[in-house]
Amino acid sequence: MTLNRIAFLCFQDASASTLAGPCEVFKHAAAHAIGEGSDCALDISVVTPDGAAVTSEGFIKVQPSEEIETAENQDLIFVTGMSYGRDVKVESSRRICRWLAEQYAQGACLAAVCAGQALFASAGLLDNRPAAIHWSLLDKFQERWPSVRWSADRMVVADRGIYTSCGATSGIDLTLCLIERFYGVETMAACARWFLVDFPRLRRNLPPQLFSPPRSADETMRDIEAWLFAHFQEPVRFEALAAEYGMSWRTFQRRFAAAFRDSPKTYLQKLRLAAAQNLLEEGSLSVDQIAVRVGYDDPAYFRTLFKRHISMTPSEYRKAYKFSPVSASDPGEAGRAIG
């Protein structure tokens, strides 16, 4: 399949970077593929649902070439990044979904950055297929479209001509994957060298998410939760806390478990270990110092708890997920850090 026509689908308050960046990379790829000094033999259009101009999140005005109904016979439709549940109105999304389904049936490839794949799912195009999604949207998307095999640990997922990616910065990874498909690996590599980016990252090194308690409707439990967030490093006597809020110990345990799906002791452990994860990722404290910082006087017990809940030791976790700023004087290290 050749790539002659691309339509970038944009929305109000969408991500301008997921339009401008991929556009530039695609133009460079087309020029490289047909030879230096040649004109870009690629028809790139920008479309909006109704053909009206939109303003991106960065207050950049985007003037479209046309509306979706007139953008026919596309080889690729690239849905730019948007905020889920905010940008596409119900009455217009049906038109968009129908247009996407028609174009796909006619042979077009479809690609979306982050929440844009909500349109593919709404059109039924992702049923029983794998798809990438940002970790913050995983639960929402799984609940709304349970037939889709959503993944938050893959940067880009390709399945039978439909490409999805997990976040705004993965838009370039998505673009390079598409360029490899249409122009080949040599052109993709040339684009990566020109724009100083690494080859597409198909998976990402995502730290395990240990602590994500539900938002409780119990106002008293929310007050207790706020207190725990402020005092988790200190010795916590839950029986005294229950009495302070006028509850028996049994009532406190029952309401706490109903609110947060964990016992008070387990909740406190997870809260402390989540704080330890952040310190291991971003700080330079020793493991023993981190143990004390998050509320454990016994570092050996802290290590045991960490291994039990995270499935690796604190030192292994730091090695895998520590944030390391890259020195501009070390291009080799920069190349390793990008991926």
> Which tokens hold the place of 217?
């409707």
Beta strand spans in the chain (E): 5-9, 43-48, 54-55, 61-62, 66-67, 76-79, 109-113, 130-132, 149-151, 156-159, 162-165
With cut-offs at 50, 70 and 90, classify the pLDDT of residue 8.
very high
- For residue 49, how many other CB atoms are within 10 A of its CB? 23
Report pLDDT digits (tens) over 111-128: 999 888 899 999 999 999
Indicate the range of 38-52, 88-102, 207-221, 321-335 predicted with least confidence. 321-335
pTM of the complete model beyond 0.85: no
Percent of the chain past pLDDT 70, that is, above it, reads 86
With cut-offs at 50, 70 and 90, classify the pLDDT of residue 1.
low
Give me the residues paired with residue 211 across strands.
none
On whether the CB atoms of residues 327 and 333 are closer than 8 A, the answer is yes
With cut-offs at 50, 70 and 90, classify the pLDDT of residue 235.
very high
On whether the CB atoms of residues 13 and 82 are closer than 8 A, the answer is yes
- For residue 60, how many other CB atoms are within 10 A of its CB? 13
What is the structure's pLDDT at 87? 43
On whether the CB atoms of residues 281 and 322 are closer than 8 A, the answer is yes
Residue 25 has pLDDT above 90, yes or no: yes
Residue 103 CA to residue 333 CA, distance in Å, equals: 43
Residue 185 CA to residue 164 CA, distance in Å, equals: 19
On whether the CB atoms of residues 112 and 141 are closer than 8 A, the answer is no
Report pLDDT digits (tens) over 72-96: 889 999 999 887 665 455 446 888 9
Report pLDDT digits (tens) over 185-204: 889 989 988 998 877 765 55
Pairing of strands 130-132, 149-151: parallel
What is the structure's pLDDT at 254? 95
On whether the CB atoms of residues 201 and 155 are closer than 8 A, the answer is yes
- Where do the domains of the chain lie, and which CATH numbers do they carry? 5-194 (3.40.50.880), 219-321 (1.10.10.60)
Higher pLDDT, 207 or 166: 166
- Residue 317, C-beta contacts closer than 8 angstroms, at least 6 positions apart: 207, 277, 280, 306, 310
Residue 212 CA to residue 218 CA, distance in Å, equals: 17
Q: How far is CA 303 from CA 15, 272, 275, 312, in A?
A: 42, 12, 14, 9
Report pLDDT digits (tens) over 237-281: 999 999 999 999 999 999 999 998 899 999 999 999 989 988 887
Alpha carbon 217 to its chain's center: 27
Q: What is the mean pLDDT of residues 195-220?
A: 71
**Of all helices (H) and strands (E), which one includes residue 31?**
helix 17-34
What integer best gives the mean pLDDT of the chain? Answer: 84
Looking at residue 329, what DSSP letter applies?
Answer: T
What is the structure's pLDDT at 240? 95
On whether the CB atoms of residues 176 and 197 are closer than 8 A, the answer is yes
Report pLDDT digits (tens) over 124-157: 999 999 999 888 888 889 999 999 999 887 888 9
